Structure 1
Amino acid sequence: MTTAVKTDKTDKEIITQIFKDLRKEGFVARQNLACCQSCAWSEVDVMEDKKGKTFENVVFYHRQDAESFDTKTKNLQSTLFLAWRGDSSTIVKVIRKNGLKVDWDGSDFTRIGIVVRPENIVDSRW
């Protein structure tokens, strides 16, 4: 039986570490990039133009996705979806290495989700 690792870190802190780890793996990894997915990909295009090359490995979430975080606790209240291009197996490996769960169907055409930790689920029923 696998037990969850307890941590005093917020999801935001863990996800920041995930993005740092992905940059060490050679990814262009950005949090809170632009207002939406279309604008974020446009910003990636601008970064590529400035560098004069196409980035093979890119991962980000945008401001609309950032609404998944509770503003007070900095923990996820809904799945955080990552837009990506490149080596998906490394993204999933790094997320899991940092103790979070992934919801993803393995398709190149869907975003990778970081799941809310069970201890952070809030019952919002009245």
Structure 2
Amino acid sequence: MGIRTGLDPAGLGHPRAPLPLELDQDEREKLDARIREAISSGYATRAQLIEIAVSGDRRPVSPEQARRLVDRLWLERVEEQASWKGETDPERLSRAFATLEAAGITARENFACCRTCGQAEIGAAGSPDARGYVYFHRQHTDRATAGHGLTLLYGGFDDSSGTTASVGREIVAALEQTGLSVEWNGDPRQTIAVVPLDWRKRLIG
């Protein structure tokens, strides 16, 4: 399988020397870490990363400075992922979610900011005749990126424990068919954990 970078490195060329930033060393390191974390999650486009870089109370980074910063860190990730061979765990996860979606279970990655928002929004996120759902929100993504595995939230749209358990079993089966390891005791009140998980998600956008 070919490497997807989401960007032709040749199209970026070699970034010019960045313009001076109105940041002290600690602030610069925190900004770099924030952008690297967002890049590692794999869901942010370059445009979104630039917006992250310019956001904040002080807004000391101009759009041009942010673009150059993002280009530099993006190219570092492109070089890193060039060594990745074959299907990665996030790609296996996406394949399992596609299988579940086709089977009538609304499956969403990096969905909403938290559980409260996710539960409120998941019903309208898929087909109106979906039997159930599975998703992980952005806080779960952050934990997976940091190497702590991935928590999946799921349920049946009829709110019955029987449907929720059935959906859980389908989710586990789909994940295991792709080669991912899953921890779940069959209790519909318990979340499903994908562990261990090597979070190497290729860039998009």
Instruction: Identify the TM-score tier after normalising by the shorter chain.
Output: 0.7 to 0.9
The CA RMSD measured in Å over matched residues stands at 2.4
Given that residues 169 and 186 in structure 2 are in contact (C-alpha distance below 8 angstroms), is that contact kept between their aligned partners in structure 1?
A: no
Task: Name 1:63's counterpart in structure 2.
Answer: 138
SS in 1 for 2:93: helix
Give the drift of 1:8: 2.2
> 155, 172, 177: which is aligned to 1:92?
172
CA distance, structure 2, for counterparts of residue 28 and residue 67 of structure 1: 22
Task: Name 1:19's counterpart in structure 2.
Answer: 97
Task: Name 1:78's counterpart in structure 2.
Answer: 148
CA distance, structure 1, for counterparts of residue 190 and residue 149 of structure 2: 14
TM-score by length of 1: 0.73
For the pair shown, the structure with the greater C-alpha radius of gyration is 2
> 113, 121, 131: which is aligned to 1:43?
121
Structure 1: which 4+ aligned runs deviate by more than 4 Å? none
**Which 5+ residue runs of structure 1 have no aligned equivalent?**
1-6, 71-75, 121-126
SS in 2 for 1:67: helix
CA distance, structure 1, for counterparts of residue 148 and residue 185 of structure 2: 18
- With over 3 angstroms needed to count, the CA separation of the structure-2 counterparts of 1:59 and 1:65, relative to structure 1, is same
Name the aligned partner's letter for residue 96 of structure 2. I
**Which 5+ residue runs of structure 2 have no aligned equivalent?**
1-84, 157-166, 199-205
Aligned residues: 105
For the pair 1:30 / 2:100, whether they are aligned, the reply is no
Given that residues 12 and 69 in structure 1 are in contact (C-alpha distance below 8 angstroms), is that contact kept between their aligned partners in structure 2?
A: no
Given that residues 104 and 130 in structure 2 are in contact (C-alpha distance below 8 angstroms), is that contact kept between their aligned partners in structure 1?
A: no
SS in 2 for 1:19: helix
SS in 2 for 1:81: strand
Which is richer in helix?
Answer: 2
Q: Percent same amino acid at aligned positions?
A: 29
CA distance, structure 2, for counterparts of residue 55 and residue 97 of structure 1: 22
TM-score by length of 2: 0.46
Give the drift of 1:55: 4.2
CA deviation vs aligned residue, 1:56-103 (integer Å, no higher than 9, x gap): 310000000001333xxxxx7222010001321111100100001111
Task: Name 1:3's counterpart in structure 2.
Answer: none
Given that residues 23 and 29 in structure 1 are in contact (C-alpha distance below 8 angstroms), is that contact kept between their aligned partners in structure 2?
A: yes
